[in-house]
C-alpha cells in the first residue's frame, strides 16, 4: 500500500542549533519561530545520532536514544521522543560518517516524519528513503508546514532518480518491492546510447539487471542520473548490522526465505570483540554488554542457517580480520561490484572494484535478490603527479584533499573519487587503499583506482591467482570520458597534515599548526591505519627512536592494532613486533576497536587528547576526548614526543 498523499505534518519542529540554550528551550516545550538566518548545526554524523552503544539495539528502542551523542550533551534518553517533533532541521552534511541505518531509524521511531537539512549525505539519505523517513533540502517547506498546509508527496521526490522517487512514494524499500513484484511499479529501462564511460560507469553497465527473472545482465551504456538495479559480486555485513538486516529479511521475505548464492555472502565478527575491556560500568548495568554479545550470537546463527562464511573471533582475542582488510586480501577482484554494510566498503576500490556501503534494508534485499539499487554517480578525477616528500603519506594526501573547498561545501556528496596519475603508480596497494577508504569522508559514493601491475602482483601473491586472468578483469576509463570536475595534485607539494577534532575535513598543514598540543593517546590501527604499509611507517619511526635511546613518552598510551591476522604475521616476520615492544607500544589483535569507541585506544574522558591514524574524528566517535587525525608517521612521532609533531 502506497504512502498516503498529501502529507500532513502537525507536530513540532526541532531546530538543531549550536546554541545549547535554544536546544534546551525547545526540549522544554518552547517552539522557535522560523528564522532562515539562524545558524544550524553542520556535519551531524550518524555517530552522534546513534552512538556505538545505542546500536546494540535494533528495534524501536532506538527511538528512545535518538541523538544522545549530539555535541553539547543536551540530548538525553527520550528527549526527542517526548518532544512531539514531526520535523528535525539542521545544516550542512546531515548524516555524514557511518552507514548505520540505526541513525535515521532512531529519528523515525522517535516520532520524526521529515528531516530537513541544507545538504544530506548519500547513505543516510538512501537509508531514510528505505525506511520511509522523508528528507528534503528545501527550507521553503518550513513556513508551509507551520501554516498547516498539506504537502504533496512529490515535494519530497524532487531531484531523486525514478527508483528512489517510487520508493519514497511507496513508503519504503520493502513496500516498493511488494509493488514491484506485483507489477505495479518497475524501474525504468536504461536507454542511454553508447558513450565514453568512466570505470565506475562501465562496471555499472556490465552489472545492470535487465531482467530479474532470467538473470539477464548488461546494457550498452549508462550515464550519470540513470537509475537501476545492479548485480553484486560480493555482499558482506558485520555484527553491528547483520541482526537488524536478518530481522528485516525475515519480515520482508518470510522465515523460510534463503540467501541467494551464499558463497558470495560473508559475515564478520570484527567490530565489538574488545568491547568488554572498555565498556563503562554504567553501560554494563544497562545490560548493553549482553546486548552487544547478543548481536554476535544472532549473526553466528544467521550465518550457520544460510551456510555463510563467517570471519570470526581469534582464539587469542580480537578477530580474524577487519572486514575491509579481508575483502581486499581475500574476496574482491577488479571489476567486481562489492556491497557491504559499512561506509568504508569503498576501500576495495583500490582493486578497481565498484565498492560501496549500504544500510540494513538494502542488504536484506540484496541477500534475497543479489541486487542493489544505484543512481549512476558523477565522477571527480584526481590526477596525482610527482613524488611524496619524506615523512608524507597517502593519509596526508587524503586529509589535504578533504580540506579543499569542493568537499568542505558538500560538493563531493554522492560522487565517485577516481584517483589516477603517475603518483598513484608509485604507491603500494596499501597506500592506495587509504585513498579509496577515505573517499566516504568526503561524502563520496566511493573511491576507485585503475588496476595496474602493482594490483596484479598483489592479488597473485595473496591468492595465487593467474596474472593474465587478472589482467583481463581490468576495467579502464575511456580517455574521453566525462568528469564532473578534475583536479591535479602535485604530491611533492603535499605537506604533513593533521585534521583537527570534529571532522576529517578540518585538515591543516602541520607547519601552519602553531599550538603545542600534548597528547594522552597515540593510536595506530583500524582498516585505514592497520595495513602492512602502515606497519612499515610505524616501525621506521619507532626503530629510529629506539636506536637513539627513546621510547613512548611518559604519560602517553600508545597502541598499534593490526587490520588482519595476515598483517600481524607480516609485522612479526619483519621484526616489527620487537621494535614496537622495545618502544613501549601495546599491540592489539584485529578489530575496529578504538575507531568506534569499542576497544583499547579510545579516550575515557573529555580531557584526553588522541592522535590517531583512523579515518574519522566526529564528536564521540572514538570516546569523549579530542581526536586529531594524522598519518602513521605523525602518530608514531607524536607518541615518542608526547605532543603532536611530524616524523
Tens digits of residue pLDDT in 107-158: 999 999 999 999 999 999 999 999 999 999 999 999 999 999 999 999 999 9
Structure confidence by residue, pLDDT tens digits, 25-82? 999 999 999 999 999 999 999 999 999 899 999 899 999 999 999 998 999 999 999 9
Q: What is the pLDDT of residue 180?
A: 82
Q: Which cell numbers in the block locate residue 320?
A: 580474524
Last residue of a domain, one of 493, 513, 544: 493
3-state DSSP of 370-424: CEEEEECCCEEEEEEECCCCCCCCHHHHHHHHHCCHHHHCCCCCCCEEEEECHHH
Cβ atoms of 433 and 351 within 8 Å: the answer is no
Confidence grade of residue 3 (pLDDT, cut at 50, 70, 90): confident
Return the higher-pLDDT residue of 568 and 174. Answer: 568
DSSP H helical ranges for 255-409: 275-278, 281-285, 288-306, 323-326, 360-369, 394-402, 405-408
Which CATH number goes with the domain that contains 130? 3.20.19.10
Distances (CA, A) of 428 to 325, 456, 457, 565: 15, 12, 11, 20
CA Rg, the chain, in Å?
Answer: 24
Does residue 506 contact residue 521 with C-beta atoms inside 8 Å? no
Q: Is residue 527 part of a domain?
A: yes
Let me know whether 39 and 172 are in one domain: yes
CA dihedral of residues 435, 436, 440, 443 (deg, nearest 10): 80
Beta strands in 16-122 (DSSP E): 85-90, 114-117
What pLDDT is stored for residue 219 in this prediction?
97
Cα distances (Å, whole numbers) of residue 453 to 461, 548, 598: 12, 38, 38
- Please check whether residues 370 and 221 belong to one and the same domain: yes
Please work out, in degrees rounded to the nearest 5, the angle formed at the alpha carbon of residue 390 by the alpha carbons of 616 and 629. Answer: 15
Cβ pair 91, 383 in contact under 8 A: no
Instruction: Return the beta strands (E) in 204-342 as ranges.
Output: 209-211, 216-217, 227-231, 234-238, 265-268, 309-311, 337-340
pLDDT at 560: 98
Instruction: Work out whether strand 371-375 and strand 227-231 pair parallel, antiparallel, or are unpaired.
Output: antiparallel
646, part of any domain: no
Residues found in the chain: 647
User: Is the domain of 162 the same as that of 18?
Assistant: yes
Q: Are residues 488 and 506 in the same domain?
A: no
Straight-line distance from the first to the last Cα atom of the chain, in angstroms, rounded to the nearest whole number: 61
513 and 486 in a single domain? The answer is: no
Q: Tally DSSP H helices, then E strands, for the chain.
A: 25, 24
Helices (H), 132-239: 141-146, 162-170, 173-181, 199-207
**pLDDT band, residue 1 (cuts 50/70/90):** low
CA neighbor of 130 nearest in space, from 395, 358, 457: 358
pLDDT band at 252 (very low <50, low <70, confident <90, very high): confident
**CATH number assigned to the domain comprising residue 505:** 3.30.499.10
Q: Is residue 100 one of the residues assigned to a domain? A: yes
Residue 467 and residue 362 share a domain: no
Q: Are 627 and 617 in contact (CB under 8 A)?
A: yes
CA–CA dist 319, 621 (Å, integer): 21
Task: Tell me, yes or no, whether 416 and 554 share the same domain.
Answer: no
Residue 471: Cβ within 10 Å count: 14
647: in domain: no
Nearest to 629 by CA among 611, 646, 643: 611
Could you tell me what percent of the chain has a pLDDT over 70? Answer: 100
Q: Is residue 5 part of a domain?
A: no
Q: Would you call 76 helix, strand, or coil by DSSP?
A: coil
Q: Is residue 161 part of a domain?
A: yes
Residue 7 lies in a domain: no
Q: Are 324 and 274 in a shared domain?
A: yes
- Same domain flag for 240 and 212: yes
In tens, the pLDDT along 361-399 reads 999 999 999 999 999 999 999 999 999 999 999 999 999
Last residue of a domain, one of 443, 478, 493: 493
Please, what is the average pLDDT of the chain? 95
| 457-485 average pLDDT score | 97
CB 184 within 8 A of CB 213: no
How confident is the model over 171-217, as pLDDT tens digits?
Answer: 999 899 888 878 888 889 999 999 999 999 999 999 999 987 788 99
Task: Supply the CATH number for residue 473's domain.
Answer: 3.40.1060.10
**339 and 223 share one domain:** yes
- The answer for residues whose C-beta is within 8 angstroms of residue 8's C-beta and 6 or more apart is 150, 151
Please indicate, yes or no, whether residues 502 and 621 belong to a single structural domain of this protein. yes
Quote the domain boundaries for residue 478: 375-493
What tens digit of pLDDT does each residue of 296-334 get?
Answer: 999 999 999 999 999 999 998 999 999 999 999 999 999
Residue 538: is its pLDDT beyond 60? yes
Q: At residue 163, does pLDDT exceed 80?
A: yes
DSSP 264: G
pTM of the entire structure?
0.92
Residue 446 carries which DSSP code?
Answer: E
**Cβ neighbourhood burial of 592 (10 Å; 0-12, 13-18, 19+):** buried
For residue 3, is it within any domain?
Answer: no
539 and 624 fall within a common domain: yes
Residue 177 corresponds to which cell in the numbers above? 518491492
Of 153, 181, 209, the one marking the end of a domain is 181
How many domains are contained in the chain?
4
Amino acid at each position: 500500500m502506497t504512502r498516503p498523499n498529501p502529507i500532513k505534518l502537525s507536530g513540532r519542529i526541532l531546530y538543531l542549533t549550536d546554541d545549547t540554550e535554544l536546544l534546551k528551550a525547545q526540549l522544554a516545550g518552547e517552539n522557535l519561530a522560523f528564522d532562515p538566518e539562524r545558524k544550524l548545526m553542520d556535519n551531524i554524523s550518524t555517530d552522534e545520532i546513534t552512538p556505538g552503544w545505542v546500536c546494540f539495539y535494533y528495534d524501536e528502542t532506538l527511538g528512545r536514544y535518538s541523538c544522545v551523542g549530539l555535541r553539547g550533551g543536551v540530548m538525553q534518553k527520550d528527549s526527542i521522543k517526548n518532544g512531539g517533533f514531526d520535523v528535525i532541521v539542521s545544516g550542512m552534511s546531515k548524516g555524514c560518517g557511518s552507514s548505520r541505518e540505526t541513525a535515521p531509524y532512531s529519528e523515525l521511531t522517535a516520532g520524526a516524519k521529515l528531516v530537513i537539512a541544507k545538504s544530506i549525505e548519500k547513505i543516510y539519505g538512501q537509508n531514510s528513503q528505505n525506511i520511509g523517513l522523508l528528507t528534503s533540502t528545501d527550507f521553503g517547506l518550513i513556513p508551509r508546514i507551520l501554516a498547516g498546509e498539506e504537502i504533496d508527496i512529490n515535494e519530497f521526490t524532487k531531484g531523486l532518480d525514478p527508483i528512489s522517487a517510487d520508493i519514497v512514494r511507496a513508503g519504503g524499500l520493502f513496500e516498493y518491492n511488494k509493488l514491484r513484484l506485483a507489477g505495479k511499479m518497475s524501474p525504468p529501462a536504461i536507454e542511454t546510447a553508447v558513450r565514453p564511460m568512466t570505470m565506475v560507469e562501465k562496471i555499472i553497465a556490465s552489472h545492470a539487471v535487465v531482467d530479474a527473472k532470467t538473470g539477464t545482465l548488461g546494457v550498452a551504456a549508462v550515464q550519470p542520473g540513470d537509475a537501476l538495479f545492479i548485480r553484486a559480486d560480493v555482499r558482506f555485513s558485520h555484527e553491528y548490522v547483520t541482526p537488524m538486516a536478518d530481522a528485516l529479511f525475515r519480515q520482508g521475505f518470510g522465515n523460510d526465505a534463503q540467501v541467494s548464492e551464499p558463497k558470495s555472502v560473508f559475515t564478520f565478527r570484527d567490530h565489538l570483540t574488545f568491547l568488554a575491556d572498555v565498556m563503562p560500568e554504567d553501560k554494563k548495568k544497562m545490560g548493553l554488554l549482553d546486548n552487544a554479545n547478543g548481536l554476535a550470537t544472532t549473526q553466528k546463527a544467521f550465518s550457520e542457517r544460510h551456510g555463510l562464511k563467517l570471519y570470526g573471533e581469534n582464539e587469542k582475542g580480537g578477530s580474524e580480520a577487519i572486514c575491509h582488510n579481508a575483502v581486499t586480501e581475500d574476496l574482491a577482484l577488479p571489476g567486481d561490484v562489492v556491497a557491504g554494510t559499512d561506509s568504508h566498503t569503498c576501500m576495495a576500490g583500490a582493486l578497481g572494484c565498484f565498492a560501496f556501503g549500504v544500510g540494513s534494508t538494502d542488504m536484506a534485499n540484496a541477500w534475497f535478490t543479489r541486487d542493489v539499487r544505484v543512481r549512476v554517480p558523477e565522477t571527480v578525477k584526481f590526477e596525482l603527479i610527482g613524488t611524496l616528500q619524506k615523512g608524507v603519506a597517502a593519509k596526508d594526501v587524503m586529509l589535504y584533499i578533504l580540506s579543499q573547498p569542493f568537499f568542505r561545501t558538500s560538493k563531493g556528496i554522492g560522487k565517485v573519487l577516481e584517483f589516477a596519475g603517475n603518483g598513484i603508480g608509485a604507491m603500494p596497494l596499501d597506500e592506495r587503499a587509504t585513498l579509496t577508504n577515505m573517499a566516504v569522508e568526503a561524502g563520496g559514493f566511493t573511491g576507485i583506482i585503475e588496476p595496474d601491475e602493482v594490483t596484479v602482483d598483489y592479488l597473485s601473491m595473496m591468492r595465487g591467482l593467474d596474472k593474465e586472468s587478472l589482467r583481463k578483469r581490468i576495467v579502464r576509463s575511456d580517455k574521453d570520458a566525462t568528469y564532473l570536475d578534475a583536479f591535479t595534485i602535485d604530491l611533492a607539494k603535499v605537506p604533513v597534515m593533521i585534521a583537527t577534532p570534529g571532522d576529517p575535513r578540518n585538515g591543516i598543514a602541520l607547519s601552519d599548526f602553531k599550538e603545542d598540543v600534548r597528547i594522552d593517546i597515540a593510536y595506530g590501527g583500524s582498516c585505514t591505519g592497520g595495513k602492512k604499509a602502515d606497519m612499515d611507517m610505524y616501525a621506521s619511526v619507532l626503530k629510529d627512536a629506539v636506536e637513539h635511546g627513546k621510547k613512548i613518552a611518559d604519560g602517553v598510551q600508545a597502541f598499534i592494532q593490526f587490520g588482519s591476522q595476515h598483517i600481524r604475521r607480516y609485522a612479526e616476520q619483519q621484526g616489527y613486533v620487537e621494535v614496537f615492544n622495545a618502544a613501549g607500544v601495546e599491540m592489539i589483535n584485529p578489530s575496529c576497536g578504538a575507531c568506534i569507541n569499542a576497544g583499547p585506544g579510545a579516550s575515557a574522558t573529555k580531557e584526553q587528547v588522541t592522535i590517531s591514524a583512523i579515518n574519522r574524528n566526529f564528536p564521540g566517535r572514538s570516546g569523549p576526548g579530542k581526536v586529531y587525525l594524522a598519518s602513521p608517521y605523525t602518530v608514531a612521532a607524536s607518541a615518542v614526543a608526547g605532543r603532536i609533531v611530524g616524523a
